[in-house]
Amino acid sequence: MEYFCEQDFENKDFSALKLKKGEYEACRFLNCNFQDLHLSGYLFTECEFIECKLSNLRWKETKVQNTLFRNCKLVGLPFGELSRFNLSFKLDSCHLLSSTFIGLDLKSCQFTDSLFRESDFSNCNLKGLKLADNNFSGSRFEDCDLRQTNWDGSTNISLDPRENQMKGAQFNPQSLAGIVASFGIKTIAQ
């Protein structure tokens, strides 16, 4: 496998060019298209993906470590395919649609100011995460460890406390409607 270090890739359409299989360390991808690629077995360490399109990507056993995704569009991504070894990434101001995180330990990840539309977090460990200012519209949380999570500023949260571990979790009063709905309780706006 080839090794790439501290390289910048800008305005590249990898759906046509193909990204060379390799280890990418401290590389920066700006406004690149990775749509429909198969990136299985790659390694991305301390990389940045800025304003990239990563839709319908396949990345079985790819290692993503200390990597940032900012202002990216991530549609239909199976995060559960990633290697679990030192898995850590940050999603900042990203738009995710129908992405799955099933069975992952996400304690070393960060989610900030992102839209997670119809994403699946079943069987995930999110214990202690600060999930600030995210929109979880239509997303699924089932059999998750959500203890000590801080959902400050997050919206459209819909989950059943009977199906998740939630001791010590913190929510804004405005977010409680999607949590108590599973008990048949309705909230009244003041």
pLDDT one-digit tens code per residue, 110-139: 999 999 999 999 999 999 999 989 999 999
Same domain (yes/no): 170, 84: no
The structure tokens listed for 168 are 């010590």
C-alpha torsion sign, points 17, 47, 36, 3: positive
Number of residues assigned to the chain? 190
Residues lower than pLDDT 50 in the chain: none
State the Cα–Cα distance between residues 86 and 66, nearest whole angstrom. Answer: 9
Number of structural domains found in the chain: 2
Which pLDDT score is estimated for 190? 59
Contact 128, 111 (CB under 8 A): no
Which pLDDT score is estimated for 165? 96
Domain final position from 70, 95, 120:
95
pTM metric for this prediction: 0.93
Same domain (yes/no): 148, 112: yes
Per-residue burial over 161-174, b if 16 or more Cβ lie within 10 Å, else e, is eeebbbeebebeee
